[in-house]
Amino acid sequence: MMRSRKPLVIIMIGPPGSGKGTQSSKIGASLGIPKISTGDILRAVASEKTLFAESIRNTISSGGLVSDEILATLIKSRLASSDCENGFILDGYPRNTEQAIYLESLLSEAKYYIVVVEIDLPEDVLIKRVTGRFSCKLCGAIYNKYFRETKKKGVCDECGSLEFVYRSDDSEVVVTERLREYARQTLPVIDFYKSKKMLHKIDGNKTACDVYTDLMSIFSQLNESAGQ
C-alpha cells in the first residue's frame, strides 16, 4: 500500500457503464481505504426502522432523488467514521456543482490530498456495456453479450448454471436517459474540478485490468506530492 503524510481522498467520476464502481472497490482494497458510495449509504439507512428511513425508502421507491441536504448530512456522518482517517474513495458523490462546493467546504476542515479522476468512454460503448450485461442467477458472475460472452453458450463459466438474470432497467432507452441526466448534472462537476486543476482523465475504453493499472499509476505518481 502507498502511504502519505496526508490522507488521500479519491473522487471517482464516470457515466453509467464506465466501471467506476468496480474500479473503486479494487483501488480501495489495494490502498487500504474504504469505498464510499451514496447508494450504499442510502440502502443502509433505508433498512433501519425509523421515520427518517421510511422517508428515504418512499423517495427511492417513487423514483425520486434524495435532496442535497439529506445527502450532505449522510456524507458528513459517514466521513466522520474512524475507517476514513487515512482517506477514502467517493463513488457517486458529488453529482452536481452544489454538492461539489459542499464537499470542498467539508474537506477543507481537515488536511486531505484530493485526487479527482474521470473515466471517459464513447457513448456507444457505454450503451453496449450496460444493455449487454447479464449475470448468473446462482453465483452472480457478470457477462456481456458484446464484450464477454460465456465460453459455452448458455452455461456459466464459474458454476455451470443455466440461469441468467437481465436487469429491466438496462434497456437502451433507459440507459440513454441516464446518460443524458449524467451529462446535465455531472459534466458541470467535471468543469468545476478542471478549473481547479484537480482533474485527471483516463481512457476507460480498455480492459478492466488496463484501466486499473492506469488509475494506480496516477496515484503512484502523485504519492510524493501528497506527502509534501
Over residues 125-135, the mean pLDDT reads: 91
DSSP secondary structure letters along 12-77:
EE--TTS-HHHHHHHHHHHHT--EEEHHHHHHHHHTSSSHHHHHHHHHHHTT----HHHHHHHHHH
Annotated binding site for Zn(2+): 136, 139, 156, 159
178 carries an active-site annotation: yes
Q: Is the pLDDT of residue 124 over 50?
A: yes
148 carries an active-site annotation: no
Give whole-number Cα distances, 171 to 33, 73, 89, 176, in Å. Answer: 34, 33, 29, 9
pLDDT in tens, 164-213: 998 766 788 888 888 998 889 889 999 999 999 999 999 999 999 999 99
133 carries an active-site annotation: yes
Annotated binding site: 17-22, 38, 43, 64-66, 92-95, 99, 133, 136, 139, 142-143, 156, 159, 167, 178, 206
Q: Is the pLDDT of residue 225 over 70?
A: no
CATH of 8-122+174-226, one of 2.40.50.140, 3.20.20.80, 3.40.50.300, 3.40.50.1970: 3.40.50.300
**pLDDT score, position 3:** 46
pLDDT classification of 158: cutoffs 50, 70, 90 = very high
180 carries an active-site annotation: no
